[in-house]
């Protein structure tokens, strides 16, 4: 909860004299292999707000695209910058970079996990319900990187989580294992099912993600739509089974008519833009935690 309390503080009572020089004299490399709107902009704004400089590096601009190893790239970057924010297609790239760089490496998204998104999600849920413990989140759809990180993050925070995915599209088994381990310590409940109706019953939050993650070839679209629609599409009927105060969440970008219908994402239950805003505040808190003396080292992340 320490990071969330810090995120709440920087959001509601920003103190320039206290935090504005956290990254003074420091430069952070943003190494992005994948397209980005929220992650890139929120990190660049956060770094600037903390007094630092950012250098955006697309994969194609680096010698990585011509065969230089991740290990060599990490060793070079540590000589130039004070940290790396990496958004990559393969989680192992993050592992290699954190292993070989003597500077913090932050997971800004991989094919397996998206911890920065879930940090913002937890802040959003906490703001909405005033607590995390005892709050139930139901995830419906594809077992994506966001789903994996929600399993880990929610159970660490004492939340209950139910995940409904079609057979063959379940979350990462290791993420499920970690979730059950966390739940044994925090008292959370974890349900993995292929029945959306079972998952959303009495939920405070219904959450979904795209059915076509960035690493999935377009040739699979037709097959995936047949698997997921209509049973795993978030529609108003699902909210009839959830709690009266239930809200809708989505990490964005959204594809209306696929994983969610417009009536839900554009309706009064939707808090997706609160989530998007909180990416900035959560990442401010993360950078303060790492560079302000409270943390350090690589942040591979789940």
Give catalytic status of residue 279 as yes or no. Answer: yes
| Catalytic-labelled residue, pool 38, 40, 87, 112 | 87
Residue 229, token pair as written in the block: 């629609």
Give catalytic status of residue 266 as yes or no. Answer: no
CA dihedral over 7, 249, 190, 95, signed as positive or negative: negative
Beta strand ranges found along the chain (DSSP E): 27-32, 53-58, 83-87, 105-109, 136-140, 160-164, 190-193, 205-208, 247-250
| pLDDT, position 300 | 44
Summarised one tens digit per residue, pLDDT across range 100-120 is 999 999 999 999 999 999 999
| pLDDT, position 298 | 40
Using CB atoms within 10 Å of the CB of residue 175, give its burial: 0 to 12 exposed, 13 to 18 middle, 19+ buried. Answer: buried
| Catalytic-labelled residue, pool 34, 38, 224, 279 | 279
Q: Is the pLDDT of residue 87 over 80?
A: yes
> Are 243 and 204 within 8 A, CB to CB?
yes
22: nearest Cα among 289, 232, 255 = 289
| Catalytic-labelled residue, pool 38, 91, 114, 281 | 114
Give catalytic status of residue 283 as yes or no. Answer: no
| Catalytic-labelled residue, pool 160, 251, 275, 283 | 251
Mean pLDDT value across residues 41-45:
99
Give catalytic status of residue 154 as yes or no. Answer: no
pTM: 0.95
- Give the Å distances, CA to CA, from 285 to 178, 261, 288: 24, 33, 5
| pLDDT, position 297 | 40
Read off the pLDDT band of 296 (50, 70, 90). Answer: very low
Read off the pLDDT band of 218 (50, 70, 90). Answer: very high
Beta carbons within 10 angstroms of residue 167's beta carbon: 7
| pLDDT, position 215 | 83
| pLDDT, position 293 | 59
Domain extent listing, the chain: 2-111+278-291, 117-270
Residue 268, token pair as written in the block: 């009064």
> Is 117-270 the same fold as 2-111+278-291?
yes
| Catalytic-labelled residue, pool 160, 209, 233, 283 | 209
Give the CATH fold of the 117-270 domain. Answer: Rossmann fold (3.40.50)
CA dist., res. 232 & res. 117, Å (int)? 22
Report, at the CATH architecture level, how domain 2-111+278-291 is classified: 3-Layer(aba) Sandwich (3.40)
Beta bridge partners of 1: none
Phi, psi of 192 (to 5 degrees): -115, 120
Question: Helices 272-291 and 2-12: crossing angle, nearest 10°?
Answer: 110
DSSP 61: G
Summarised one tens digit per residue, pLDDT across range 197-217 is 999 999 999 999 999 998 889
| pLDDT, position 302 | 55
């Amino acid at each position: 909860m320490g990071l969330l309390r810090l995120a709440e503080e920087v959001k509601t009572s920003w103190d320039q004299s206290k935090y504005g020089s956290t990254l003074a004299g420091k430069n952070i490399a943003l190494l992005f292999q994948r397209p980005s709107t929220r992650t890139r902009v929120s990190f660049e704004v956060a770094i600037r707000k903390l007094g630092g400089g950012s250098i955006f590096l697309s994969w194609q601009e680096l010698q990585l695209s011509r065969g230089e190893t991740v290990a060599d790239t990490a060793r070079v970057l540590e000589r130039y910058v004070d940290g790396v924010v990496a958004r990559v297609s393969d989680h192992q790239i993050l592992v290699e970079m954190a292993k070989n760089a003597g500077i913090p490496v932050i997971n800004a998204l991989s094919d397996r996990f998206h911890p920065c998104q879930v940090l913002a999600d937890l802040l959003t849920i906490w703001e909405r319900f005033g607590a995390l413990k005892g709050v139930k989140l139901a995830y419906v759809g594809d077992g994506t990187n966001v789903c994996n990180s929600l399993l880990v993050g929610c159970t660490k925070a004492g939340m209950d989580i139910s995940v409904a995915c079609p057979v063959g599209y379940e979350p990462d088994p290791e993420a499920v294992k970690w979730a059950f381990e966390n739940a044994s310590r925090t008292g959370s409940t974890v349900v993995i099912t292929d029945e959306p109706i079972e998952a959303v019953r009495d939920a405070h939050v219904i959450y979904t993600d795209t059915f076509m993650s960035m690493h999935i070839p377009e040739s699979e679209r037709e097959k995936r739509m047949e698997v997921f629609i209509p049973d795993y599409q978030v529609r108003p009927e699902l909210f009839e089974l959830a709690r009266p105060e239930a809200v809708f969440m989505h990490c964005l970008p959204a594809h209306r008519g696929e994983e969610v219908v417009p009536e839900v994402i554009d309706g009064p239950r939707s808090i997706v833009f609160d989530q998007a805003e909180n990416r900035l505040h959560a990442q401010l808190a993360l950078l303060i935690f790492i560079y302000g003396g409270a943390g350090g080292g690589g942040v591979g992340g789940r």
